[in-house]
């Protein structure tokens, strides 16, 4: 069919207050308002959300999986960023 | 005509329930046939809301009547002349624009109506109205968005939705029907001053139609009859489908 | 062998190693073309099945016998639309266009589950479809939650979570009829008679005739073979039928102590092939309904697009 398709939108839902929005999937919509309405109908049929974000899929920039090694490996070796790297004498609590 | 409070309340609640049932039935006919998948899901949500509203109002009507009839008895086992829905809601789906225009006219009315009914001194009625109001606000958002997009979309969509509005306009006057039932309940602070809803309805409709670049039809003639059980020919067929199982297998549990 | 081919071989080996290590493949990761194609075919078929699957049940929405059943049925059919959408979402992560795959359905190029080409003739079919068809679908879908392709697996997790009510509501209907009046019991048995064999066919051709199975299992797109899943389905369903006093329409059905499962009769593969090829009782009607929905709704889509463009232009000026 020759007509222009509605653009694709990525949908993010906050499941309850205090949690981050989480990616749940995508849908088609002609504009942002309709994308939000559609997201409400498609992705919160069982009260899964209290807040919705939508963003046009083409606007999302992503890291390149081919570069995943050089991208993420360096932080794998920086274990001093994690609290378990440090020794704390026995008997110390609340740390 | 003398009418007591119980009969009036029964009739009043039945009208609301019948509107919901019949419109819900019509919208549910779209299920699986919507113009795009996302819209199919949206329409089904709306249909589900109406079936839910119908159930709540029939439950209450049955209780008011006190004759051991159930919500299902009221929904499925009355005759055509006993249904009190407005003509607007029984009109066929037509194309998507017809469905949206029908929905829009009704949603604007329903929102105003439930806002008032939520203040009823009849707490049970006020409670159902309040819950239904939330749903209705969403329905109105949905139908308004579509009115604007169809009206101010393409030339084709504009012509189509204008025609839908022209055709359905004649059924909007009946939304404001009231008689001694309403007068009595208004007096008891249970009912709604329906005539007073007409002006805000027109204002809101004009606003959206203006944004949608749709003209209000010039003709003023209004059809009525649904509230007194005098329907269009469409209702009989709708009821034939709706009641099929209950009529074909009387008295069985499903 | 030139460098390009060596590179490709390395990549394929790396890819298979990831699969073997149960590392999920994500949309932008390198994957063999044939893996991508297989997934696009399978996921879009799955999505089409959900969408076409709305029609046989949608057929009874306006005739549901009471308000509760009407609401449940509507919610269920709506879920199927939702599931179709989750799956189309997953297809689109592979670079396929949802509407192109839908047009393939409408032109008859793409397939969908054979079961939906059978008619729903009585209300009892709403029970049987939920009980058998959703039961079989769940058998198929649960292993897919562990599929190697991330977006498909995630979609299936969502689908399986939502679908657990579908089979139950179907069984509730059919169990009620089986324990109802003689007339209702007859409706239930007649419905089981019509749906049993088509339900078994839902698992697809037997393993020796299934051209995709071996590769799909190696790629962990599929986790169990058609025959394994079919056997599982028979084994759980037969006792359910017995419990509600319905008879499975298969004179060869009997318990096999040795394999700890049921032996069942020969499936009519000729009928199966015919239904797949478009000769089922409702193929034309189903595809026509879907095509009409799209074609009749095209002006609506165009209107919304035109409006969005106009508004964009207004904002820009």
Check if the beta carbon of residue C194 is closer than 8 Å to that of residue C207.
Answer: no
Q: How many helices (H) and strands (E) does chain A have?
A: 2, 3
Give pLDDT, residue A71. 78
What's phi and psi for C56, nearest 5 deg? -60, -35
Averaged pLDDT for residues C125-148:
95
C35 pLDDT higher than 70: yes
| B106 half-sphere exposure, CB direction, 13 A CA radius | 28
CA distance B225 to B86: 7
Average pLDDT (B24-38) is: 97
Quick one: pLDDT at residue A77? 77
Counting one residue from chain A and one from chain B, the pairs whose CB atoms sit within 8 A come to: 26
What are the structural domains of chain B?
5-248 (1.20.1260.10)
Query: Which residues pair with residue C254 across a beta bridge?
Result: C263
pLDDT surpasses 90 at C279: yes
Confidence of residue A2 (pLDDT cuts 50, 70, 90): very low
Res. B81: pLDDT tops 90? yes
Q: Do B36 and C306 touch (CB under 8 A)?
A: no
Strand order in the sheet with A51-56: A21-28, A8-14, A51-56
Say if residue B46's pLDDT is above 80: yes
Instruction: From chain C, pick out residues whose CB is under 8 angstroms from the CB of B149.
Output: 303-304, 307
Question: Are the C-beta atoms of residues C87 and C112 closer than 8 Å to each other?
Answer: no
Q: Report pLDDT digits (tens) over C58-102.
A: 999 999 999 999 999 999 999 999 999 999 999 999 999 999 999
> Would you state the pLDDT for residue C208?
87
3 state DSSP class of C10: helix
Partners of C103 on chain A (C-beta within 8 Å) are 1
Judged by CB atoms closer than 8 Å, whether chains meet at A6 and B36 is answered as yes
Average pLDDT (B146-170) is 98
Whether residue C107 lies within 8 A of chain A, CB to CB, comes out as no
Residue of A nearest to C87 (CA): A25
Which DSSP state fits C179? Answer: T
Fold of domain A8-84: Ubiquitin-like (UB roll) (3.10.20)
Residue C165, phi then psi, degrees to nearest 5: -80, -20
Chain B residues touching A29 at Cβ < 8 A: 38
- Please report, for residues A5, A70, B42, B245, the alpha-carbon distance to residue B30 in angstroms, rounded to integers and kept in the order given: 22, 52, 10, 21
Q: Across residues C18-41, what is the average pLDDT?
A: 95
CB contact under 8 A, B71 and C67: yes
The interface predicted TM-score of the complex, written ipTM, equals 0.96
Rounded Cα distance, C305 and C300, in Å? 9
Smallest Cα distance from C255 to chain B, Å: 33
Among residues B244, B226, B37, B59, the alpha carbon closest in space to that of C62 is found at B244
Which residue in this structure is represented by tokens 């994308």? Answer: A35
CB proximity B73 to A under 8 Å: no
- Residues 6 or more apart in contact with residue B192 via CB below 8 angstroms: B113, B116, B117, B120, B182, B185, B186
In order, the DSSP letters of C211-238 are SSHHHHHHTTS-SS-HHHHHHHHHHHHH
Mean pLDDT, chain C, integer? 95
Q: What is the pLDDT of residue A69?
A: 77
Give the pLDDT of residue C122: 98
- Beta carbons within 10 angstroms of residue B66's beta carbon: 9
- The single-letter DSSP state of residue C25 is B
The model carries a pTM of: 0.94
Does position A1 have pLDDT exceeding 50, yes or no? no
Q: Hey, is the C-beta of C97 within 8 angstroms of any chain A C-beta?
A: yes
Sign of the C-alpha dihedral computed for residues C208, C224, C44 and A61 taken in this order? negative
CA gap B11, B178 in Å, rounded: 12
Of B31, B39, B149, the CB nearest to C61: B31
Q: What is the pLDDT of residues A54-67, one digit of tens each?
A: 999 999 998 888 77
Nearest to B45 among A6, A34, A41 (CB): A41
Residue of C nearest to A67 (CA): C29
**pLDDT tens digits for C179-197?**
999 999 999 999 999 999 9
Q: Give the pLDDT confidence score for residue A80 in this predicted structure.
A: 81
| Whether the predicted pLDDT of C294 surpasses 60 | yes
d(CA B24, CA B238): 11
Cα distance between residue B103 and residue B173, in whole Å: 15
Mean pLDDT of C213-237: 93
Rounded to the nearest angstrom, the minimum Cα separation between A71 and chain B is 38
- Residue C3 banded pLDDT, cuts 50, 70, 90: low
Mean pLDDT of chain A, nearest integer: 87
User: How many residues comprise chain C?
Assistant: 317
Domain limits of chain A? Answer: 8-84
pLDDT attached to residue A3: 57
Is residue C158 within 8 Å of C87, Cβ to Cβ?
no
Q: Cβ of C65 under 8 Å from any chain B Cβ?
A: yes
């Amino acid at each position: 069919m020759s007509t222009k398709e509605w653009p694709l939108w990525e949908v993010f839902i906050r499941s309850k207050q205090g949690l981050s929005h989480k990616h749940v999937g995508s849908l088609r919509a002609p504009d942002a308002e309709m994308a939000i309405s559609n997201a409400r109908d498609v992705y919160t049929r069982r009260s899964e959300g209290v807040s919705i974000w939508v963003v046009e899929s083409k606007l999302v920039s992503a890291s390149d999986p081919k570069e995943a090694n050089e991208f993420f490996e360096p932080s794998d070796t920086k274990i001093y960023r994690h609290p378990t790297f440090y020794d704390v004498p026995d008997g110390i609590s609340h740390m | 005509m003398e009418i007591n409070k119980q009969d009036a309340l029964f009739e009043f609640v039945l009208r609301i329930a019948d509107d919901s049932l019949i419109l819900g039935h019509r919208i549910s006919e779209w299920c699986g046939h919507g113009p795009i998948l996302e819209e199919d899901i949206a329409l089904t949500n709306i249909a589900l809301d109406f079936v839910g509203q119908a159930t709540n109002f029939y439950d209450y009507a049955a209780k008011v009547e006190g004759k051991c009839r159930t919500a299902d008895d009221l929904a499925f086992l009355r005759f055509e002349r006993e249904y009190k829905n407005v003509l607007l809601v029984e009109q066929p789906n037509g194309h998507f624009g017809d469905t949206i225009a029908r929905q829009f006219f009704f949603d604007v009315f329903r929102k105003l109506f439930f806002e008032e009914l939520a203040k009823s001194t009849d707490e049970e009625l006020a409670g159902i109205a309040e819950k239904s109001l939330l749903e209705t606000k969403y329905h109105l958002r949905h139908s308004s968005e579509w009115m604007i997009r169809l009206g101010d979309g393409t030339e084709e969509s504009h012509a189509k939705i204008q025609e839908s509005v022209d055709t359905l306009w004649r059924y909007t006057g009946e939304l404001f029907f009231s008689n001694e039932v309403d007068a009595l309940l208004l007096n008891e602070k249970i009912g709604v001053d329906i005539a007073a809803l007409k002006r805000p309805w027109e204002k809101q409709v004009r606003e959206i139609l203006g944004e949608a670049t749709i003209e209000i039809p010039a003709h003023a003639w209004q059809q009525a009859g649904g509230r007194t059980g005098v329907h269009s020919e469409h209702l009989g067929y709708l009821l034939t489908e709706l009641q099929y199982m209950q009529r074909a297998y009387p008295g069985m549990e499903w | 062998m030139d460098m390009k081919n060596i590179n490709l071989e390395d990549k394929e080996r790396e890819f298979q190693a990831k699969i073997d290590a149960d590392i999920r493949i994500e949309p932008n990761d390198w994957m063999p073309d044939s893996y991508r194609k297989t997934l696009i075919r399978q996921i879009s078929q799955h999505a089409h099945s959900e969408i076409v699957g709305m029609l046989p049940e949608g057929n009874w929405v306006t005739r549901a016998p009471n308000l509760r059943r009407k609401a449940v049925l509507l919610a269920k059919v709506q879920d199927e639309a939702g599931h179709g959408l989750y799956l189309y979402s997953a297809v689109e992560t592979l670079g396929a266009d949802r509407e192109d795959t839908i047009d393939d359905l409408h032109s008859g190029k793409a397939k969908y589950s054979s079961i939906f080409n059978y008619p729903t003739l009585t209300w009892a079919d709403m029970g049987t479809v939920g009980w058998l068809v959703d039961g079989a679908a769940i058998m198929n879908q649960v292993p897919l939650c562990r599929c190697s392709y991330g977006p498909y697996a995630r979609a299936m997790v969502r689908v399986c979570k939502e679908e657990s009510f579908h089979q139950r509501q179907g069984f509730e209907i059919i169990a009620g009829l089986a324990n109802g009046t003689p007339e209702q019991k007859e409706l239930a048995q007649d419905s089981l008679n019509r749906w049993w064999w088509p339900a078994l066919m839902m698992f697809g051709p037997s393993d020796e005739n299934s051209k995709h199975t071996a590769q799909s299992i190696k790629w962990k797109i599929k986790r169990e073979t058609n025959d394994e899943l079919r056997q599982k389905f028979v084994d759980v369903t037969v006792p359910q039928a017995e419990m509600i006093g319905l008879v499975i329409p298969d004179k060869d059905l009997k318990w096999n102590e040795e394999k700890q499962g049921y032996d069942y009769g020969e499936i009519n593969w000729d009928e199966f092939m015919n239904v797949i090829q478009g000769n089922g009782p409702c193929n034309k009607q189903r595809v026509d309904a879907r095509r009409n929905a799209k074609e009749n709704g095209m002006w609506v889509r165009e209107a919304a697009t035109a409006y969005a463009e106009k508004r964009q232009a207004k904002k820009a000026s």
